[in-house]
Chains A and B, each alone.
Chain A
Amino acid sequence: MDFLQPGTWSDALAAKAERPAAVPIAGGTDVMVEMNFDRHRPEALLDLTRVEGLAAWDTDDGPVRLGAGVTYSRVITELGDRLPGLAMASRTVGSPQIRNRGTVGGNLGSASPAGDAHPVLLATDAVVEVESAANGVRHISIGDFFTGVKRNALAPDELIAAVRLPAASGPQQYAKIGTRNAMVIAVAAFGLALHPAERRVGTGIGSAAPTPRRAPAAEQYAATALDEANLWDSRDPLPPSIATRFGDLVAEAAAPIDDVRGTARYRVHCLSVLARRTLLWAWAEYRRDETGKG
């Protein structure tokens, strides 16, 4: 097995083009587990931790461009104001040691249906920036990124450069069900973003389908119901009936399985509760935040 350690992005792309079977590694929180348990012996590891600039983020062009190598710990400490939903999700990842190493780019590379970042990325309309030496940069909207269980839309010669997220324009929430408060793979997870300027609600479901996915019918219902009741302008309390119906529609969008972490039926129930609660929490924040971002 070879160990490739490029220092620049162009060298990394060249290495991936030459060795498409090389497995990219950043924090190692997924890749090293596969190796330690001898589940996977790639012909080469492509270490991205030395690539200059990959662990940086910036907001030069409006949205936050989050470099693939930025760790969860840094999302929490540096981006809690701009990306509150992603920071919330990051706080639920593993333990301090895992958050210190794991990256959002790695989460996207693994593309697990249970990836903690994914529901919020879906709810906030993230765009994944990928690149190859031969074909340059491609922008993949997050809804098109996950193609199957632990599969994504990357070509064999492509690497994930960054993910672009619009800076939050309204309250965001993330909630996750697990057996304890730390070190938990989600039994079910839900990300939610209010987009007051566009009068719509973004959703993302985790751990309850072959891929992370949106709940389009729930989004549509929320947009219509909130608009018809003039709630975006009045900022009146959210009628419980709207939150409940929203929760039910989110649950209907799921396609979970029974596994060691929970039954399909339980997951569906979890999602209806998580979606209802997160909408109520986000709405309560929207009402408080009259002079703010909304």
Chain B
Amino acid sequence: MRVSCTVNGESHEADDVWPGESLLYVLRERMGLPGSKNACEQGECGSCTVYLDGVAVCACLVAAGQAQDSDVFTVEGLAEGELLHPLQQAFVETGAVQCGFCTPGLLLAAHDLLRSRPRPSDVEIREALAGNLCRCTGYGQILDAVRLAAERLADRPSTQLGG
């Protein structure tokens, strides 16, 4: 089957899609967008988190055909050219990135949190990131990164959360 959708504002099409494959597979293997990571394939790790029509989901649990005509947003859409999104910048500065495999999913989960809770409490951050596993950092620096990004974004009320 053919699957057409918008990814990060651009139209994409994939042909010869097997109906049982996931949106994650389509993004990575058919559309050349490997930012969303493939790890657990069962919704446990959050590495493949994307927005599907504005809702944060695990792309590994979306059947390819379910994404037909949808609006998908992936980690590749966060930065503007060379300019990192404030969340990405904060992850870099706080050492929240080690091997980096979980980072795309954590960025999207954190982005989803900050667009609804610009000043999240630590409990809210933990709750929002509960579906994203990181095996390197111990999460401390990731929490630092989200706090830092929230601070910077809130200090600049005119700045859109973007992405």
Residues of A within 8 A of B (CB): 1-3, 5, 25, 27-29, 31-33, 35-37, 41, 45, 47, 49, 94-98, 100-101, 181-183
Q: What chain B residues lie within 8 Å of A98 (beta carbons)?
A: 43, 58, 61, 131
Q: What chain B residues lie within 8 Å of A100 (beta carbons)?
A: 55-57
Across the interface, name the chain B residue whose C-beta is closest to A3.
B19
- Docked pose: A183 CA to B55 CA in angstroms: 19
Contact across chains for A95 and B66 when beta carbons are under 8 A apart: no
- B18 beta carbon closer than 8 Å to chain A: yes
Report A170 CB to chain B, min CB distance, Å.
28
Contacts across chains A and B counted by CB atoms under 8 Å: 89
Cβ proximity bits B67-89 to A, threshold 8 Å, 1 near / 0 not = 01000000000000000000000
Q: What chain A residues lie within 8 Å of B36 (beta carbons)?
A: none
Given A95-B46, A96-B56, the answer on whether A47 and B41 have CB atoms closer than 8 Å is no
- B98 beta carbon closer than 8 Å to chain A: no
- Docked pose: A101 CA to B23 CA in angstroms: 14
Cβ proximity bits B89-131 to A, threshold 8 Å, 1 near / 0 not = 0000000000000000000010010000000000000011011
Q: What chain A residues lie within 8 Å of B43 (beta carbons)?
A: 29, 32-33, 94-95, 97-98
Contact across chains for A37 and B65 when beta carbons are under 8 A apart: no
- B60 beta carbon closer than 8 Å to chain A: yes
Q: What chain A residues lie within 8 Å of B68 (beta carbons)?
A: 5
- Docked pose: A32 CA to B42 CA in angstroms: 8
Given A3-B1, A32-B22, the answer on whether A45 and B65 have CB atoms closer than 8 Å is yes
- Docked pose: A5 CA to B55 CA in angstroms: 20
Given A97-B46, A98-B131, A101-B58, the answer on whether A47 and B65 have CB atoms closer than 8 Å is yes
* CB-contacts of B15-70 with A (<8 A): 18-20, 22, 41-44, 46, 49, 55-58, 60-63, 65-66, 68
| In-complex Cβ contact of B130 among A1, A32, A37, A181 (8 A) | A181
Give 25 pairs: A residue, B residue, CB < 8 Å, sorted on A.
A1-B19, A1-B20, A2-B19, A5-B68, A25-B63, A28-B61, A29-B61, A31-B63, A32-B62, A32-B63, A33-B41, A36-B22, A37-B41, A37-B42, A45-B20, A47-B65, A95-B46, A95-B130, A95-B132, A96-B109, A96-B112, A96-B131, A98-B61, A101-B55, A182-B130
